[in-house]
Chain A
C-alpha cells in the first residue's frame, strides 16, 4: 500500500483505530462501566464508516436545481441518526443494568462478581 493511498483514506484508519480501541476496552477491562465506555466507542466508530463516504468535497445538499450538480448523499446521515438512537438506548440500558448489579452485589468489578457467585475456591483454581 502506497503512502498516498494511506493518507487519502486516513478517515478509514481513524475509524478502524477507534473500533479496535473500543473492542479492546470491552475485552480487557473488568469494570462494568469501562466496558460500556468501550462498547460506546466501538459503536461510535461505525458512525464514521457510514458518514465518511457520504461527504463529497464541494458537495451541497441534494437540491434539484441546475445551479447544483454535485451533492452529498443524505441517506447515510439518516441511517446514522437511527444508529445513534440505538446506541443511546443500548448505553442507557447497560448503565441501568450496572446500577442494578451494584445494588445486588455491591460491586461493579467483573472478577469480584464471579468471586461472589462461584466462591473463592473455584475462582482461584487455574483454568
Chain B
C-alpha cells in the first residue's frame, strides 16, 4: 500500500501521537513545536484528502484491514472532507497564537500540558468527523470533550472552573444520551457502521426502539452543539476560557457536533419511515427561530464582550439549524456554508478579542471604551467580523444568509425571509454596542498607553479575518463543497 492510501488514518494518528510526546518532553518549546508540527501535518493531510475526494469520490479506509461492517471504517466524503479541512485549518492557525497568548493566561510550568490537551482536542474533533463507526464516534466525542473541559478550566478567572464543571455535567449527559441512542440502534440492527445501519433501518417494521434512539441522539447531540434551549453551558465556557481556547472551541467544537447531527439525521435515519412521519422539520424550525431571537436579544444586554459574542454563537447555531429544517438541497447547502463561515468569523473574532484582552487587560464594554483609538487595526478587524455576523455583502456571513433566504423562498415561506432579516437587525444592535464603545467614547486614562497587539497575536487573527472576507467574495471552495455535500446527504445526483 502506498503512503497516500493511509492518509485517512494518519489524519487522526499524527495529532494523537503528538500529545503524549509533548507530555514526555515536559518542555514548553518542545511541546509547542511537536504539537505545531502535528497540527500543520493534519491540515496538510486534510487538504490532500479534500482534493482526493473531489477527484475520485468517497474514500473508505478499513482500520487494521478489517472490512467495513465488522471493522472500524474511516470514511471521507464531500461533507467530512470539508469539515476536516475546517477543523484542522483552524487548529493550525490558532496554535501559533497560543504561544503568545497563553503566556499571560496560564502558569508557565503547565504550558506543555496545555499543548498536549490541545492536540488531544484536535484529535477528537478530527476523529468524530472522519469515523464511519457509531461507537468510535462516541469515543472521539469524549476525547475531544474531556480535553476541552480541561482547556476551559485553565482560564485565569476562577469562574472558568465552575463553567468547566457545568460543561462537564451537561456534556457528559449529552454524551451518555448519545451512547444510549447508539446502543438502541446497535441492538436493533446488529451493526455499528453508520452506512450499514442506515441501510438496515430501512426495512425495520417495529419502530419504538428506533424512535427512542432518535430522541436520545437528538437531545444528546443538541446538548453538544448548544442548540437552544440546551445552550446553558456555552456562554460561561466561552467567556472564561483562555482566549485561544475560546477561539478554537467556538470555531470547531459546536461545528463538529452539527456534523454529527447531519450524519445521524441524513445518513442513518434519512430513509427510514419513522423519520419521515415525525415533524422533525417543524421541531428544528421552532428551536432555530427561538435560538436566533432569544440568544440575540440576550446578547444585546451583555457587558462582557466574550459573553456577548458567545450568545451570538448560540444565535448563529440557530441559523445552522434553520438550514437543516428546510430538508432541501439549498437548505443544507446554507447549513454547511454557514458552518464554515461562522467558524472562521467567530474564530477570528475571539482571536482579536484575545488580543484586546492582552493589551487592555479585559473585554468588558466599560474597559474597551475608546479601543478604536489605541488599537485601531484590531478594532477594525472586530468590526469586519461583526459585519460578517450581521451578514453584510462582501463578508462570509452574507453568503450563508443568502442561501438561507434562497432556501426559504424555494419553500415559499416569505415570512421566514422577514424573520431572518429581522434577526440580523438584532445582530446590528449588539455589534453596534461594541462600535459605540470603541469609537465614540474616550479611552480610560490608565489605558491610554495600551498598544496594538504583538505580531504573534495579530498574524493568526488576521489570517482568519482574511478568510472571512475571502469566503464572502470567492465562494467556489465553500459553496462548491457544501453543495456537493448537501447533494450527497440527500442522495441527489446533481
Return chain A residues, CB-CB under 8 Å to B161.
Answer: 97, 100-101, 104
Give Cα distance in the complex from A76 to B164, angstroms. Answer: 31
Pairwise interchain contact B180-A97, C-beta atoms closer than 8 A: no
Given known A-B contacts A97-B168, A113-B162, A42 and B173 have beta carbons under 8 A apart: yes
Give Cα distance in the complex from A90 to B168, angstroms. Answer: 8
8 Å CB contact of B165 from A32, A53, A79, A89? A32
B149 on interface, CB distance cutoff 8 Å: yes
Per the 8 Å Cβ criterion, residues 165-201 of B in contact with A are 165, 168-169, 172-173, 175-176, 179-180, 183-184, 186-187
Per the 8 Å Cβ criterion, residues 3-31 of A in contact with B are 19, 23, 26
Give Cα distance in the complex from A101 to B155, angstroms. Answer: 13
B135 on interface, CB distance cutoff 8 Å: yes
The 0/1 profile, CB within 8 Å of A marked 1, for residues 149-165 of chain B is 11001000011011011
B142 on interface, CB distance cutoff 8 Å: yes
Q: How large is the interface on A (under 10, 10 to 19, 20 to 34, 35 or more residues)?
A: 20 to 34
Give Cα distance in the complex from A93 to B167, angstroms. Answer: 12
Give Cα distance in the complex from A40 to B7, angstroms. Answer: 37
Given known A-B contacts A79-B135, A86-B139, A35 and B180 have beta carbons under 8 A apart: no
B146 on interface, CB distance cutoff 8 Å: yes
Give Cα distance in the complex from A101 to B176, angstroms. Answer: 24
Give Cα distance in the complex from A95 to B252, angstroms. Answer: 27
Q: Give A64 Cβ to nearest chain B Cβ, in Å.
A: 15
Pairwise interchain contact A97-B142, C-beta atoms closer than 8 A: no
Give Cα distance in the complex from A89 to B168, angstroms. Answer: 11
Give Cα distance in the complex from A105 to B176, angstroms. Answer: 29
By secondary structure, the A interface counts as helix
Pairwise interchain contact B149-A97, C-beta atoms closer than 8 A: yes
Return chain B residues, CB-CB under 8 Å to A89.
Answer: 142, 146
Per the 8 Å Cβ criterion, residues 71-127 of A in contact with B are 76, 79, 82-83, 86, 89-90, 93-94, 97-98, 100-101, 104-105, 113, 117
Given known A-B contacts A101-B165, A113-B162, A23 and B173 have beta carbons under 8 A apart: yes
Given known A-B contacts A43-B172, A53-B187, A117-B159, A94 and B179 have beta carbons under 8 A apart: no
By secondary structure, the B interface counts as helix
Residue of B139, B158, B164 with highest tally of chain A CB at under 10 A: B158
Give Cα distance in the complex from A117 to B165, angstroms. Answer: 15
Pairwise interchain contact B179-A98, C-beta atoms closer than 8 A: no
Given known A-B contacts A79-B135, A86-B139, A97 and B187 have beta carbons under 8 A apart: no
Give Cα distance in the complex from A92 to B159, angstroms. Answer: 20
Return chain A residues, CB-CB under 8 Å to B186.
Answer: 50, 76
| B180 nearest in chain A by CB position | A46
Give Cα distance in the complex from A78 to B484, angstroms. Answer: 37
Pairwise interchain contact A39-B172, C-beta atoms closer than 8 A: yes
Q: Give A30 Cβ to nearest chain B Cβ, in Å.
A: 12
Return chain A residues, CB-CB under 8 Å to B158.
Answer: 104-105
Return chain A residues, CB-CB under 8 Å to B139.
Answer: 82, 86
Interface residues of B (CB under 8 A from A): 135, 138-139, 142, 146, 149-150, 153, 158-159, 161-162, 164-165, 168-169, 172-173, 175-176, 179-180, 183-184, 186-187
Interface pairs A-B: 8 shortest CB-CB: A104-B158, A86-B142, A49-B183, A97-B165, A53-B187, A101-B161, A46-B179, A50-B183
Jot down 17 A-B pairs with beta carbons below 8 A, ordered by A: A19-B180, A26-B173, A32-B165, A35-B169, A39-B172, A43-B176, A49-B184, A50-B183, A53-B187, A79-B135, A89-B142, A93-B150, A97-B153, A100-B161, A104-B158, A105-B158, A113-B162
